[in-house]
Amino acid sequence: MTEPTYTITELAREFELTPRAIRYYEDQGLIAPDRAGVQRIYTRRDRTRLRLTLRGKRLGLSLAEIRELIDMYDTAPESSQLARLLEVLEHRRAKLAQQREDIEAVLGELDEFETQCRSLLSGKQIS
């Protein structure tokens, strides 16, 4: 029994991507389809790597981080891969927490400026 294969069109449809995006991930070393002439032939492994790439992107990981983690699957013990994933996730969480703090500060400033503008428009003095 042969392993299932996929065309770029099938993967694009399944993952709601453009073929160009899939080719980009290929250029970045995240997937490596076989070739039959000019046609790309994607294996189950490529499909899984693409799915993991998209999951990593949803988490906000860089393509370099995603590639490192996916490549570890082939070379490192699972515990090493999981330990590295935890490091990457902790870093991402810290970055998001800082962004949330920054957003809250900006929203506070916007509220203050909005209040001042409304006061000026209504003719009230601002102290």
What pTM does this model have? 0.76
Band of the pLDDT at 78, cuts 50, 70, 90?
confident
Band of the pLDDT at 14, cuts 50, 70, 90?
very high
pLDDT at 105: 98
pLDDT at 72: 86
Q: Where are the domains of the chain?
A: 1-62, 76-127
Band of the pLDDT at 126, cuts 50, 70, 90?
low
Query: Which candidate, 62, 48, 49, 54, places its Cα nearest to that of 18?
Result: 54
Q: Which fold has domain 1-62?
A: Multidrug-efflux Transporter Regulator; Chain: A; Domain 2 (1.10.1660)
pLDDT at 110: 97
SS3 82: helix
CA angle 94, 100, 104 (to 5 degrees): 150
The better pLDDT of the pair 23, 127 is held by 23
Band of the pLDDT at 127, cuts 50, 70, 90?
low
Structure letter (DSSP) for residue 43: E
> Is the per-residue pLDDT at 118 higher than 90?
yes
